[in-house]
Structure 1
Amino acid sequence: MKLLQRYEEAVQRDDDAAVVALSAEMDEQQAWELEAHAKIILSKLGISNFSQSVDELSGGQRKRLGLARALIMPCDLLIMDEPTNHLDDKTILWLEEYLRDSKAAILLSTHDRYFLDCVADSMIELDRGHVYTYVGNYGQYLEQRQARLEREEASEAKRRNLIRREKAWIQRGAQARSTKQKARKERYEQLCAIEAGKPIGEVEMFDTSVRLGKTIIDIDDMAFGYDPARPLFQHVTYHVVKHDRIGIIGENGVGKSTLLQVLAGQLAPTAGTVTIGQTVRFGFFTQQLPQFDEGMRVIDYVQEHGHFVTNQFGQRISATRLLDQFLFTEEMQYTYIAKLSGGERRRLYLLRLLMDQPNVLLLDEPTNDLDIPTLTVLERYLDTFQGVVLVVSHDRYFLDRVVDKLFTLEKETWDRFYGDYSEYLEEKYSHHQEKKGEKATAPSITKTNITPAKTKAGLTSRQEEELRRITEELPRYEAMLKGLNAAIAAAGSNYEEVESLLSEQKETQEKVDALTERWCELEDLKA
């Protein structure tokens, strides 16, 4: 690489003698191929100005430059830490293919579960001070991990039973004088000292949001551009409704984060209007962390706005309960912020936002620097969240798990898609194949190929995905219905509030009925 740099500098100086000498040296070391390879990788990672100074690059561009440097250098072992951060979907797909074709061994740490599924063939898990190894990709790891946890639970049940028996023996007042009795007492103490394994994700979730009115965000023919003559997006029209779960996708630089800022009222649209409802309370989780007081303890930072919050269903939730919910143990709650890792700080920042009781969450790349257990907790929290979620993310698994519609941004244009990210990709790919004329023609129906229309037992892939989504959504709406019933009972003689709640209860009940009916239909088809 240093040889290439010297050659480029000689060309810029118009030093013909040096260019000739260095060209010969590059021929000898076959450096021309390395140069072409380097430029291809830089282009794929979104860096096209090869002579630009590193000092002029943004933080995201520097991260991609670091990744390019690692990919370009020949090696036997490639080590990568969160390689998909700051990459758009198209670039991640290219990186997956590049790594699959690589002959080097790869060791990577990432929260991107689809990326792991594609690239990894073995997994190492660090859990409660222990290291576990698994053969297979992320999906296979989940199955093997579940089996391990079940074995641990069985062992823990046996340990508890043993402790019960040994405790009963000790409480009978047996004299521990003989060697045998002393040994039994020591065994009891050892059993009590063993730390019980506690799998992550078993904490009850509590929604902190306050109620939303009928008007949330109304977007009418809106456009925005830092240069009005060159809008990032235009003609955006959408009426945000309760319980919307919207993902915002597009390549780097098309204005995804900017769109969130416009919706939050931080930037004024250059055309059209954005109307915010009076009851809307935003929680804007940005990519940049706030300035923390390093000398403050975690619990004090979260409690700055109060020790408790009361949500729209009258539930009183303590700051310590929320911290526990987001994997801050009792010991960690009294740790100084200065000792927290980057991922733990992002988790703390998110918690602080939730203590402000937002009912519209704007999440800008929320999965960056969060580990998979924390992502699982965030996904479970969003399942119970009664407000609106708009999220910019490159994490395809997270989008599939959380959203049910997409805003797609391309140069100066926007569109919407009803469905999750995988469904969007499937439809986009099928349209691409149709344009290329590669779509397989449907088989003609003749007596020879009609195998008496095997009323196909089983579901299509799309129906399976619909069933999965209904299974996830139904508990959320049922919990919402339960909360509304409690809120109606608590409203007493406040007739205006009761009327509003009854209207919402009716809508929610209709949604539950429709989902239940469709769930039954799909289950019948499965049989």
Structure 2
Amino acid sequence: MSQLNINGLTKSFGDLVLFEDITFGIAQGQKIGLIAKNGSGKTTLLNIIAGKEDYDSGSVVFRNDLRVGYLEQSPAYPSELTVLQACFYSSNETVRLIAEYEQAMASDDHSNLEDILLRMDNMKAWDYEQKAKQILGQLKIYNFDQKISELSGGQLKRVALANVLITDPELIILDEPTNHLDLEMTEWLEGYLSRANISILMVTHDRYFLDRVCSEIIEIDRKQIYQYKGNYSYYLEKRQERMEALNAEVDRASNLLRKELDWMRRQPQARGTKAKYRIDAFYELEKKAKQQHEAGNVNLDVKASYIGSKIFEAEHVSKSFGDLKITEDFNYVFARYEKMGIVGNNGTGKSTFIKMLMGEVEPDSGRFDIGETVRFGYYSQDGLQFDEQMKVIDVVQDIAEYVDLGDGRKMGVSQFLNYFLFAPEKQHSYVYKLSGGEKRRLYLCTILMRNPNFLVLDEPTNDLDIITLNVLEEYLSNFKGCVIVVSHDRYFMDKVVGHLLVFRGNADIKDFPGNYTQYREWKEAIDLQEKEAAAARQAKLSPVQEKHNRSSDAPKKKLTFKERKEYEALEVEIPALETEKAELELAMSSGSLSNDELMAKADRIAKVIDEIDEKTMRWLELSEFA
């Protein structure tokens, strides 16, 4: 059954036509990825479908009573709302009832709680609430009372994502859903959307995410759309075939055009017998022959300046913010031509580490000793600080009049911008007219044209289109210098880096010799070992299990309100204790503890194991009726 039909849609801004007379539909259960160069109208199309932007002509038709969720690229909520209120900021009746229940529980006034509980039972909202809390927990949303105005951009994106998923939509529209999500949350969302029986239309630069979630790709190219009935890998294969066919067609048109041009020139100017159809065909051929053979290539063949053998050494670097430890007595010698990736969950200190290296943040103790020949090119998350009233070409000319390509070769600024997909008319446009991705591309251009020999890239993939990412990856792979990349883009990391620093929180940093996929395989093997050990411990709980088996045939009773709250609390407490146990085991095996510290941790781990066993037994009892 069709849930959405787009018919003959056209959108332009003045003389700039984004797309023209495009038509497609979304059926129930269909999961579509939308791909295009930055500035081609991806976000505009999503805004039009969501009813947030007008269009020139055509129609957007939804199925009656369709539940639609929309995650915007830059979500916004009233600043006075709390996190909980924003999460349940919806017209969905069940969601609003759950929000009412949560507010009643958080307040001292429980006078209307009985009425709310009755309505919750009648609307079967308990399962809904459990699902909502699972989503909030997976997205690391715990401080429900924090004001929206106090959130970072990443926290706000997670709240907005929770708001969309909680409403249980039948069609979900996602604009860069993985931006600002750490790897753990990205992989959870990937699995959630893959399993969910919902329709999806999304824009994302995360190619693993596209490949594993989407079953169809729609590409906007030259104001038209092209549909590919398969995932991202299938799209790459079929798009290459399309481009090769287009190139052959353009070559044929060029050859015919030369013949037609010769014919046109040989005709007497005053002669009126020239066939009109042939004249019209000439102009059509001319138009076709002028088509680009490709969607455009970013040429990043820029010479890196000489770099010596000494790059940098981290010597006993420690940094913390209150109780939050970023590094503790950290030591590292960075090698020449090394390409390192830095990964980890949000809040573990990845960007702080980079800022210490760049001298923007001082360590509490220790230092970074940087080689004399090192010339940093630093791409930061908050580096987009252009004068919006400047023209694109002026931004670049303020840095240099030409770009040094090495071997005495130089390139003019305008030609350099052309390689970055800035056509001449775009070069003389003002910065404020650029899309978010185009500004990122311009920012990258200003960094690379300075000929750095050590690139430090903090989340470079956010807002860049896939075409730019492909060539940036190739450039970094061939870059004759050093690279450090902080990124949540798994595909990007796999193609670029040779090993990882994994920030696991509380100054626990693992140096892993491999790319991200290899690290995940290693980590999954370790996690499996831990699960098997936990299962072996749980086998000791046979009396509880026997009691569970004996009562399996008895009529099931419902948990009381108090028992349900206890059950939910245990589901949070047990994983937290397992995490503490793993941290204690790691510390005890480090060899760096004194005898007193070792005895203290041994006492604590014994208590933690007892708590885990006790709480697990209680959880098993309650789970029988949950």
Q: Given the two structures, how large is their TM-score scaled by the length of structure 1?
A: 0.79
Alignment-mate amino acid for residue 47 of structure 1: I
Q: Cα offset for 1:386?
A: 1.9
Matched residue, 1:431:
526
Structure 2 distance, partners of 1:14, 1:159, is 78
Per-residue deviation at 1:125?
A: 0.2
Corresponding residue for residue 217 of structure 2: 123
Which amino acid is 1:415 matched to?
Answer: K
Aligned to 2:442: 348
Asked if the contact 1:210–1:311 (Cα under 8 Å) also holds between the matched residues in 2, the reply is no
Does 2:346 align with 1:277?
no
The 1:383–1:321 alpha-carbon spacing in structure 2 relative to 1, beyond 3 Å, is farther
Q: Tell me if 1:364 matches 2:458.
A: yes
What is the CA-CA distance between 1:300 and the residue it aligns to?
0.4
Alpha carbons of 1:39 and 1:436: their partners in 2 closer, same or farther (altered >3 Å)?
Answer: closer
Q: CA offset at residue 311 of structure 1? A: 5.0
- Amino acid corresponding to residue 135 of structure 1 in structure 2: K
Picking from 311, 320, 326, the partner of 1:232 is: 326
**Aligned residues of 2:459 and 2:485 also touching (Cα < 8 A):** yes
- Paired with 1:16 and 1:241, the residues of 2 have a C-alpha distance of 63
1:415 is matched with: 510
Structure-2 separation of matches of 1:313 and 1:223: 43
Q: Distance in 2 between matches of 1:65 and 1:421?
A: 27
The residue aligned with 1:109 is 203
Which AA in structure 1 matches 2:510? Answer: D
Equivalent AA in structure 1 for residue 452 of structure 2 = P
Q: Sequence identity of aligned pairs in percent?
A: 43
Instruction: Give me the whole-angstrom Cα distance separating, in 1, the residues matched to 2:504 and 2:517.
Output: 18
CA displacement at 1:313 relative to structure 2: 4.3
CA offsets 1:450-488 (integer angstroms, 9 cap, x no match): xxxxxxxxxxxxxxxxxxxxxxxxxxxxxxxxxxxxxxx
CA shift for structure 1 position 64: 0.5
Change in CA separation of 1:366 and 1:164 when aligned onto 2, cut-off 3 Å? same
Answering whether residue 101 of structure 2 is matched by residue 7 of structure 1, we say: yes
- 8 Å Cα contact 1:343-1:370 kept in structure 2: yes
| The one of 302, 316, 338 aligned to 1:207 | 302
The answer on whether the counterparts of 1:152 and 1:197 sit within 8 Å (CA) in structure 2 is no
Structure 1: distance between partners of 2:406 and 2:330: 31
1:248 corresponding residue in structure 2: 342
Structure 2 match to 1:221: 316
Relative distance call for 1:204 and 1:344 in structure 2 (3 A) is closer
1:289, 1:346 within 8 Å by CA — same for their partners in 2? no
Q: Cα offset for 1:422?
A: 1.3
Alpha-carbon contact 2:319-2:328 (below 8 Å) kept? yes
Deviation string for 1:223-266 (max 9, x for gaps)? 22233x65212243222222211100111110011111111121
Q: Which moved more, 1:331-340 or 1:321-330?
A: 321-330
Q: For 1:432, give the aligned amino acid.
A: D
CA distance in 1, matches of 2:371, 2:407: 21
- Report the equivalent of 2:292: 197
Whole-Å Cα distance in 2 between the matches of residues 288 and 176 of structure 1?
A: 64
Distance in 2 separating the partners of 1:230 and 1:190: 66
Alignment check: 8 A CA contact 2:386 2:431 kept = yes
The one-letter code of the counterpart of 1:134 is Y
Q: Matched residue of 1:232: which SS? A: strand
From 358, 369, 381, give the equivalent of 1:264: 358
Residue 271 and residue 311 in structure 1: after superposition, are their counterparts in 2 closer, same or farther (change >3 A)? Answer: farther
CA distance in 1, matches of 2:298, 2:110: 70
Name the counterpart of 1:85: 179
Q: In the alignment, does 2:406 pair up with 1:315?
A: no
Which stretch of structure 1 is more off in the superposition, 262-271 or 154-163? 262-271
Secondary structure of the equivalent of 2:306?
Answer: coil
Distance 1:295 1:301 in 2: 10
Contact 2:243 2:293 in 1 (8 A): no
C-alpha distance 315-357 of structure 1, shift in aligned 2 (>3 A) = same
Q: Please give the alpha-carbon distance, in whole angstroms, between the structure 1 residues aligned to 2:195 and 2:437.
A: 31
Mapped to 1, the partners of 2:522 and 2:240 lie a distance apart of 33
Q: Which residue of 1 aligns with 2:152?
A: 58
| Matched positions, count | 437
3-state DSSP class of the match of 2:226? strand
User: In structure 1, how many angstroms separate the alpha carbons of the residues matched to 2:301 and 2:340?
Assistant: 21
The one-letter code of the counterpart of 1:78 is I
Q: What is the distance in 1 between the residues matched to 2:396 and 2:171?
A: 42
* 2-structure distance, mates of 1:232, 1:244: 23
What amino acid sits opposite 1:395 in the alignment? D
* Equivalent pair of 2:297/2:421 in contact (CA under 8 Å): no
Q: Which moved more, 1:106-115 or 1:235-244?
A: 235-244
Which stretch of the first structure deviates more once superposed, 185-194 or 324-333?
A: 185-194
- What one-letter code is carried by the residue in structure 1 that aligns with 2:411? I
User: Quick check: 1:45–1:64 contact (8 Å CA) kept in 2?
Assistant: yes
Aligned partner of 1:444 in structure 2 is none
On the 8 A contact 2:379/2:458 being kept in 1, the answer is: yes
| CA displacement at 1:92 relative to structure 2 | 1.1
Query: Contact 2:339–2:496 (CA<8 Å) still a contact in 1?
Result: yes
Q: 2:467 aligns with which of 369, 373, 386?
A: 373
> Which of 251, 260, 269 is 1:157 aligned to?
251
Equivalent in the alignment of 2:277: 183
| 1:399 and 2:493 matched | yes
**Equivalent residue, structure 1, for 2:111:** 17
CA contact (8 A) 2:384 2:440 kept: no
Q: CA deviation at 1:272?
A: 2.7
What amino acid sits opposite 1:286 in the alignment?
Answer: S
Q: Is the 8 A contact 1:207 1:384 kept in 2?
A: no
Q: Secondary structure, in 3 states, of the residue corresponding to 1:162?
A: helix
**Match of 1:325?**
419
Structure 1 distance, partners of 2:250, 2:270, is 26
1:417-442 CA deviation, whole Å, 9 max, x = no partner? 2221112212222333344459xxxx
Match for residue 47 of structure 1 among 141, 166, 174: 141
Aligned partner of residue 457 in structure 2, secondary structure: strand
1:334 to 2:441 alignment: no
**Cα 1:200–1:424 shift into 2, 3 Å:** farther
**Conserved 8 A contact 1:224-1:271:** yes
Q: CA deviation at 1:202?
A: 4.2
Paired AA for residue 456 in structure 2:
L
Counterpart code for 1:210? S
Query: Post-superposition shift, 1:268?
Result: 2.0
Q: Any conservation in 2 of the 1:175–1:181 contact (CA below 8 Å)?
A: no
Q: Is the 8 A contact 2:440 2:463 kept in 1?
A: yes
Partner deviation per Cα, 1:10-53 (whole Å, 9 max, x = no partner): 33333232111111122212222222211110110111122333
Q: In 2, Cα distance between the equivalents of 1:333 and 1:135? A: 36
Counterparts of 2:363 and 2:406, CA distance in 1: 32
Q: After alignment, is 415-424 or 129-138 more displaced?
A: 415-424
Output the CA distance in 1 between the equivalents of 2:358 and 2:298: 31
- Residues in 1 aligned to 2:321 and 2:371: alpha-carbon distance in whole angstroms: 26
Matching residue of 2:400? 306
User: Which residue matches 2:129?
Assistant: 35
Question: Unaligned 5+ residue runs, structure 1?
Answer: 439-527
Q: Counterpart of 1:17 in 2: which secondary structure?
A: coil
CA–CA distance in structure 2, aligned partners of residues 316 and 226 of structure 1:
47
Checking the alignment, whether the CA contact within 8 Å between 1:122 and 1:137 is kept in structure 2 is: yes
Question: Could you say what secondary structure the match of 2:136 adopts?
Answer: helix
Name the residue aligned to 2:52: none
Q: Which has the higher strand share?
A: 2
Letter in 1 for 2:442: L
